Amino acid sequence: AQSVTQLDSHVSVSEGTPVLLRCNYSSSYSPSLFWYVQHPNKGLQLLLKYTSAATLVKGINGFEAEFKKSETSFHLTKPSAHMSDAAEYFCVVSGRTGRRALTFGSGTRLQVQP
């Protein structure tokens, strides 16, 4: 079984300050992990994915995430928030080969203040 816990339902930052969105996972095997973003009334866009090639993963729009197996965490960060970053962010774990359903976290709403 696999699960994902996003520790904050809502995060508010000021423009230009760092962003930290926290995610913990549970998986009985080596997981495939993703972060997706959903802007208001839009579809889901892949930000980045963990491939096991490197624990620090760089994504689009300046986001990155670090896989920490000892802490079962995959936190999403960005050095400097932009107004356009305001959206819902989902931490996601993928099923095993043959059953690729994604298990989504409950989401974190990022608000960026001017």
Partner 1 sequence: DTAVSQTPKYLVTQMGNDKSIKCEQNLGHDTMYWYKQDSKKFLKIMFSYNNKELIINETVPNRFSPKSPDKAHLNLHINSLELGDSAVYFCASSFLSSGTVVEQYFGPGTRLTVT
Stretch that binds partner 1, among 11-19, 41-49, 61-69, 76-84 (CB under 8 A): 41-49
Give the C-alpha separation, 113 to 98, whole Å: 43
8-state DSSP, 77: E
Count Cβ atoms within 10 A of the Cβ of residue 40 and give its class: 0-12 exposed, 13-18 middle, 19 or more buried: exposed
Q: What tokens were used for 38? A: 């959903």
Minimal distance, residue 91 CB to partner 1, in Å? 11
At its nearest, how many Å lie between partner 1 and the CB of residue 80?
26
Q: Which residues bind partner 1 (CB under 8 A)?
A: 32, 34, 36, 38, 42-46, 49-52, 88, 90, 94, 97-104, 106-107
